[in-house]
Amino acid sequence: MINEKSHRNMTIKKLTYIVFMLGFLFSTAIGFAQSNKQKELEAQRQQKLKEIKLINALLYSKKKEQKSAITLIEDINYKVSVRKNLIRITNEQANLLTREINSNQNEIASLKTQLKELKDDYAAMVVKSYKSKSEQSKVMFLLSSSNFQQAYKRLQYIKQYSNYQKEQGVAIKAKTKELEVLNVQLNKQKEDKQKLIEENRVAKRELEGELKQREELMTSIKSEMGKFTAQIKKKKQEAAQLDKEIDRLIKETIAAANKKTGKTSAKGKFVETPEAKKLSANFESNRGRLGWPVSRGVIKGKFGKRRSLTDNSITQNYKSIYIATDANSDVKAVFNGVVAQIHVMKRGNPAIFVRHGSYLTVYMNLSEVKVKKGDKIKTGQVIGKVFANKLSGESLLGFRIYKNDQVLNPEPWLAKY
């Protein structure tokens, strides 16, 4: 006969089930976090693979003989840097998969235990229900109540017990399905991990080859190090002169724009009209989403201070990024604006300055200019072509961003490729 002791046991089991469900939800939340991290790492890995593909296409499509040893070393060093990042990201993915596999294996073991307990409990309930299944025993259970309130509670309990039996049956099916899904997921994770390990083996072999090639090149120029150091110092002086020239042009651009507003007291900053303020805000809101100034390219030269690859005593502070692209590639405006300045650099090629409110973008090393000063331009509009250097076999676009007269690192402003 069904009794109140059974009711207490059932209540304890329900509480145990609730505690388990809370634990399950917590572990599910952790699983989602790991899954999101895995997606993020995979996106980074795909980006690095794409970058290596572009490096091979843009920097290694010409014969080595066309490039100087210094340029070749720069190219290899850049490729090595990207390759190392690819290996690091792939390692992180494999390690995260290892943790996920271990977690799933523990979860499967736990689910098997819970499934066994559910089945044992369900079997016991079936036996108990069979022994007390007659309507007479239920009626006697109700009639033996000391008062109406107790009888009502017992009636409610009979309904709850019946529902609980159904819930147990449903729970067994759910656990079985969950176990099947986890086993499939586990097998997929093991396959993914093995694939990543194999890809990393290939990447490490390629990295070893690139490091060896770089070492051979470094050895080949040691006898002429003095000559290369002199060339590097000369390039540094030319870059410093270019920076000085651009800074002067930026200040002239700001002064000329402010003169039109009738406010010339502000120095180094644009006096903004309401329209210019709106454009500045729109430009700022697109940080990290600006389109690239070329259809296809890789950032070969980074912004900021860098040491010379051949002479560690020489450092240079780069205010531009240099994007390697296809020969004669179209140059496109990264945002709506007005052409503020077109200037042919001393011992250099044309540059275009485009104003976006209080921001300026500068496009350097052009072979053609397709706009004129004062033109209003749209995002993605072709404004010129990149100069193709026949001696080095390179097409490098110099690109800068200024806020008023302060130069910024352009890379975080551009959308991820």
**258-281: pLDDT as tens digits:** 988 887 777 889 998 899 999 999
**Going along 289-328, which residue ranges are E strands?**
297-301, 304-307, 315-318, 321-325
Angle at 163 between CA 9 and CA 25, to 5 degrees: 75
Residues 106 and 24 in one domain: yes
Structure tokens at 186: 């586990």
Residue 247 resides in a domain: no
Strand, helix or coil at 357?
coil
Residues 177 and 104 in one domain: yes
Amino acid at 369: V
Residues 86 and 150 in one domain: yes
Residues 208 and 304 in one domain: no
Residue 314 resides in a domain: yes
Q: How far apart are CA 178 and CA 193, in angstroms?
A: 22
Work out the burial of residue 13: count CB atoms within 10 Å of its CB; fewer than 13 is exposed, 13-18 middle, 19 or more buried: middle
Pick 105 or 223 by higher pLDDT: 105
| pLDDT tens-place string over residues 25-37 | 445 544 555 678 8
Q: Where are the alpha helices (DSSP H) in 222-333?
A: 225-261, 274-285
Q: Which residue has the tokens 């790492």?
A: 41
Q: Residue-wise over 222-240: b if at least 16 C-beta within 10 A, else e?
A: eeeeeebeeebeeeeeeee
Strand partners, 327: none
Residues 41 and 108 in one domain: yes
Q: Which residue has the tokens 């060896």?
A: 212
Confidence of residue 2 (pLDDT cuts 50, 70, 90): very low
DSSP string spanning 136-186?
Answer: HHHHHHHHT-SSHHHHHHHHHHHHHHHHHHHHHHHHHHHHHHHHHHHHHHH
Domain that holds residue 374: 272-413
Confidence of residue 356 (pLDDT cuts 50, 70, 90): very high
Residue 288 resides in a domain: yes
| pLDDT tens-place string over residues 287-345 | 999 999 999 999 988 898 877 666 666 777 889 999 999 988 999 999 999 999 999 98
Residue 258 resides in a domain: no
Angle at 295 between CA 290 and CA 299, to 5 degrees: 70
Residue 250 resides in a domain: no
Q: How far apart are CA 239 and CA 242, in angstroms?
A: 5
Q: How far apart are CA 65 and CA 69, in angstroms?
A: 9
Mean pLDDT for the stretch of residues 387-407: 90
Q: φ and ψ at 385, to 5 degrees?
A: -130, 150
Q: How far apart are CA 103 and CA 387, in angstroms?
A: 55
Q: How far apart are CA 140 and CA 156, in angstroms?
A: 15
Residues 52 and 179 in one domain: yes
Q: How far apart are CA 107 and CA 98, in angstroms?
A: 14
Q: How far apart are CA 63 and CA 381, in angstroms?
A: 33
Residue 322's CB: how many other CB atoms inside 10 A?
21
Number of domains in the chain: 2
Q: How far apart are CA 218 and CA 76, in angstroms?
A: 11
Structure tokens at 61: 């499509």
* pLDDT above 70: residue 178: yes
Q: How far apart are CA 174 and CA 181, in angstroms?
A: 11
| pLDDT tens-place string over residues 37-47 | 888 988 888 98
Q: φ and ψ at 325, to 5 degrees?
A: -145, -175
The answer to whether the Cα torsion of 291, 296, 417, 359 is positive or negative is negative
Residue where a domain terminates, one of 200, 222, 244: 222
Residues 278 and 209 in one domain: no
